[in-house]
């Protein structure tokens, strides 16, 4: 105290009446002489009074009651009063956190789009063959058609249905035309005579399906999303 | 005054509930009604536990509010305190005053709550309007409101050990020995923490009081 008469800790202890009598007396004597320490002591006394006057906030009683009722409700062993049995929440993994969840959902959506795209662009040999009553009635044309489009005879004959109507021809003929035009996954080949004949026969079929005097049936081109995936194979050692 | 193994700065979750140290409290309540209430609560009497809770709920909620500066968080912390008390009731010595355990656990729970909240301070809305509603002079009411806000905010910015010491000594009026007993610390430590807290508070409130 004698070495550091202006130590603020001593002033703070003096204001709170925490000093021994002899120490308090020395601080009192110092305060009578030091203006800055007197100012500090008056500020600390004012602060102490303000802290004591700080009353309970509004809503304190309601919070007290709510706290008590909530605690007792959670402690009550009777099933009616107790809270429903809350199972511990399953630990949420980092991969399924709120940050990564949109990424997973976007990846799932992208997978659906790719799958649908692949399904609609699958090779023609796996697709259901053309079923027209005209072809069923003409085995020679049917044979030519199947040879030109590489459609197995068995599947073509299985799908040929006598219940098919003219409207079926109107719907299925354009699809066949598009498939013949696109043929994306088949190996490239020179258009043979049989294919050209087949196309001409198809056009004739479409024209014959239309009633006389009406407009030719509209040709719908099936639009599929063109999704191109570039697969870059990693090269060990880098690219030279 | 003996000190317990409970460190005030340790998070409440890390505090061993076996740390209800009867040596801490020289006062016994074997002959007081509180002792019989504790025994009845240990026997599973929920009404007795409610009596025990009512005996301590007000000072605990007030302490939590002054430590946290937010009534909602204080309510949650107080409820958690009594739930923990109920869980450790069987290990509580009925012949001892449970106040030191409650105060220390409350201080630790408030410390944990403040850590979870981060350093962001949310001023409770109720503390803004209330003084204006009761004061006559609007200027004086505004000054009171500002002073109260500043006090609550500055208190919340103190280190939790100093805050606990200031709250118990300067706000709740406990003696240094009593505060040391409640906080499980030595009297000299509580005095120095309270002095440091007062000076820090004064720097934070400079010119506002």
| pLDDT tens profile A35-49 | 889 989 998 998 888
Token pair of A32 as six digits = 């009578």
Could you tell me the pTM of the whole model?
0.53
**Minimal C-alpha gap between A37 and chain B (Å):** 13
Residue A7 binned pLDDT confidence (cut-offs 50, 70, 90): confident
User: Mutate which of A54, A65, A81, A83 to test chain B, going by most B C-beta atoms within 10 A?
Assistant: A54
CA dihedral A186, A192, A197, A198 (to 10 degrees): -10
User: Mutate which of A71, A76, A83, A86 to test chain B, going by most B C-beta atoms within 10 A?
Assistant: A71
pLDDT score recorded for residue A181: 46
Q: Any CB–CB contact under 8 A between A81 and chain B?
A: no
pLDDT score recorded for residue A161: 44
pLDDT score recorded for residue A236: 59
Question: Could you tell me which chain A residue has the CA closest to the CA of B205?
Answer: A47
Q: Which residue has the higher pLDDT, A158 or A187?
A: A187
Please name the member of A12, A54, A64 whose beta carbon is closest to the beta carbon of B57: A64
Q: Tell me how many residue pairs between chain A and chain B have CB atoms under 8 A apart.
A: 102
Ranges of beta strands (E only) in A15-157 are none
User: Mutate which of A51, A65, A70 to test chain B, going by most B C-beta atoms within 10 A?
Assistant: A51
pLDDT score recorded for residue A122: 77
Which chain A residues contact residue B205 at CB under 8 A? 47
pLDDT score recorded for residue A53: 83
pLDDT above 50: residue B128: no
pLDDT score recorded for residue A187: 57
Q: Any CB–CB contact under 8 A between B195 and chain A?
A: yes
Cβ pair B127:A57 closer than 8 A? yes
- What is the mean predicted confidence (pLDDT) over A172-199? 58
pLDDT score recorded for residue A205: 79
User: Mutate which of B79, B124, B133, B154 to test chain A, going by most A C-beta atoms within 10 A?
Assistant: B79
Q: State the CB neighbour count (10 A cutoff) for residue B185.
A: 22
- What is the mean predicted confidence (pLDDT) over B23-31? 44
pLDDT above 90: residue B79: yes
Q: State the CB neighbour count (10 A cutoff) for residue B98.
A: 22
Q: Any CB–CB contact under 8 A between B152 and chain A?
A: yes
Question: Could you tell me which chain B residue has the CA closest to the CA of A8?
Answer: B199
Q: Any CB–CB contact under 8 A between A1 and chain B?
A: no
pLDDT score recorded for residue A67: 93
Q: Where are the alpha helices (DSSP H) in A90-213?
A: 101-120, 133-137, 139-149, 153-159, 166-182, 193-209
pLDDT score recorded for residue B119: 54
Q: Which of A232-236, B116-120, B193-197 comes out lowest in average pLDDT? A: A232-236
Q: Any CB–CB contact under 8 A between B84 and chain A?
A: no
Which chain B residues contact residue A56 at CB under 8 A? 62, 65
pLDDT score recorded for residue A91: 52
Q: Which residue has the higher pLDDT, B99 or B32?
A: B99
Q: Which residue has the higher pLDDT, A228 or A180?
A: A228
Cβ pair A67:B57 closer than 8 A? yes
- Mean pLDDT highest for which of A145-149, B2-6, B179-183? B179-183
Cβ pair A54:B148 closer than 8 A? yes
Cβ pair B50:A15 closer than 8 A? no
Residue B59: HSE in the Cβ half-sphere, 13 Å Cα cutoff? 16
Please name the member of A18, A47, A59 whose beta carbon is closest to the beta carbon of B202: A47
Q: What is the pLDDT of residues A152-167, one digit of tens each?
A: 444 444 444 444 444 4
Q: Dihedral of CA A182/A187/A188/A194: which sign?
A: negative
pLDDT above 90: residue A190: no
Burial string for A53-72 (b: 16+ CB within 10 Å, else e) reads ebeebbbbeebbeebbebbb
Cβ pair A52:B170 closer than 8 A? yes
Residue B60 binned pLDDT confidence (cut-offs 50, 70, 90): very high
pLDDT score recorded for residue B133: 47
Q: What is the pLDDT of residues A102-126, one digit of tens each?
A: 889 999 999 999 999 998 887 765 5
Cβ pair B65:A57 closer than 8 A? yes
Q: Which residue has the higher pLDDT, A128 or A154?
A: A128
Cβ pair A13:B196 closer than 8 A? no
**Is there a contact between B48 and B69 (Cβ–Cβ < 8 Å)?**
no
Residue A64: HSE in the Cβ half-sphere, 13 Å Cα cutoff? 18
Q: Which of A199-203, B47-51, B74-78 comes out lowest in average pLDDT? A: A199-203
Q: Which residue has the higher pLDDT, A199 or B128?
A: A199
Cα-based distances in Å from A42 to A12, A178, B66, B158: 10, 95, 24, 21
Please name the member of A13, A51, A54 whose beta carbon is closest to the beta carbon of B195: A13
Chain B, 27 to 46: residues with Cβ < 8 Å from chain A are 46
pLDDT above 70: residue B98: yes
How far apart, in whole angstroms, are the C-alpha atoms of residue A199 and residue A148?
9
Q: Any CB–CB contact under 8 A between A56 and chain B?
A: yes
pLDDT score recorded for residue B184: 85
How far apart, in whole angstroms, are the C-alpha atoms of residue A184 and residue A121?
8
Backbone angles phi, psi at B185, to 5 degrees: -130, 180
Q: What is the pLDDT of residues A198-237, one digit of tens each?
A: 888 888 877 776 555 555 555 555 555 565 555 656 555 5
- What is the mean predicted confidence (pLDDT) over B123-134? 48
């Amino acid at each position: 105290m004698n070495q550091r008469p202006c130590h603020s800790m001593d002033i703070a202890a003096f204001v709170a009446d925490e000093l021994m009598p002899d120490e308090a007396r020395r601080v009192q004597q110092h305060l009578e002489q030091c203006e800055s320490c007197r100012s500090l002591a008056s500020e600390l006394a004012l602060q102490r009074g303000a802290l004591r006057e700080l009353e309970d906030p509004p809503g304190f009683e309601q919070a007290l009651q709510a706290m008590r009722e909530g605690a007792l409700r959670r402690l009550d062993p009777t099933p009616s009063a107790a809270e429903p049995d809350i199972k511990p929440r399953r630990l949420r993994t980092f991969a399924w956190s709120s940050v990564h969840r949109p990424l997973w959902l976007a990846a799932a959506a992208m997978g659906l789009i790719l799958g649908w795209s692949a399904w609609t662009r699958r090779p023609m040999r796996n697709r259901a063959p053309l079923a027209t009553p005209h072809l069923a009635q003409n085995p020679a044309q049917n044979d030519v058609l199947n040879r030109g489009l590489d459609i197995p005879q068995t599947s073509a004959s299985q799908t040929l249905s006598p219940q098919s109507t003219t409207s079926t021809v109107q719907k299925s003929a354009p699809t066949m035309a598009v498939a013949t035009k696109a043929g994306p996954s088949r190996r490239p080949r020179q258009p043979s005579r049989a294919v050209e004949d087949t196309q001409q026969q198809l056009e004739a079929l479409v024209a014959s399906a239309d009633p006389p005097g009406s407009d030719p049936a509209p040709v719908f081109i099936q639009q599929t999303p063109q999704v191109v995936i570039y697969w870059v194979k990693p090269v060990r050692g880098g690219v030279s | 005054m003996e000190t317990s193994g409970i460190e005030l700065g340790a998070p409440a979750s890390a505090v061993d509930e076996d740390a209800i140290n009867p040596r801490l409290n020289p006062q016994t309540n074997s002959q007081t009604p509180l002792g019989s209430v504790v025994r009845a609560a240990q026997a599973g009497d929920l009404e007795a536990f409610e009596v025990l809770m009512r005996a301590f709920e007000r000072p605990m909620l007030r302490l939590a509010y002054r430590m946290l500066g937010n009534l909602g968080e204080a309510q949650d912390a107080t409820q958690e305190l009594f739930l923990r008390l109920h869980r450790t009731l069987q290990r509580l010595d009925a012949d001892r005053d449970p106040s030191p355990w409650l105060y220390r656990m409350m201080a630790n729970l408030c410390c944990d709550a403040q850590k979870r909240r981060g350093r962001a301070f949310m001023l409770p809305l109720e503390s803004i309007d209330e003084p204006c509603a009761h004061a006559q002079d609007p200027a004086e009411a505004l000054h009171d409101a500002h002073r109260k806000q500043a006090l609550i905010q500055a208190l919340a910015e103190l280190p939790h050990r100093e805050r606990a010491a200031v709250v118990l000594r300067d706000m709740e009026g406990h003696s240094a020995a009593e505060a040391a007993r409640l906080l499980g610390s030595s009297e000299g430590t509580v005095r120095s923490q309270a002095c440091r807290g007062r000076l820090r508070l004064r720097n934070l409130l400079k010119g506002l009081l």
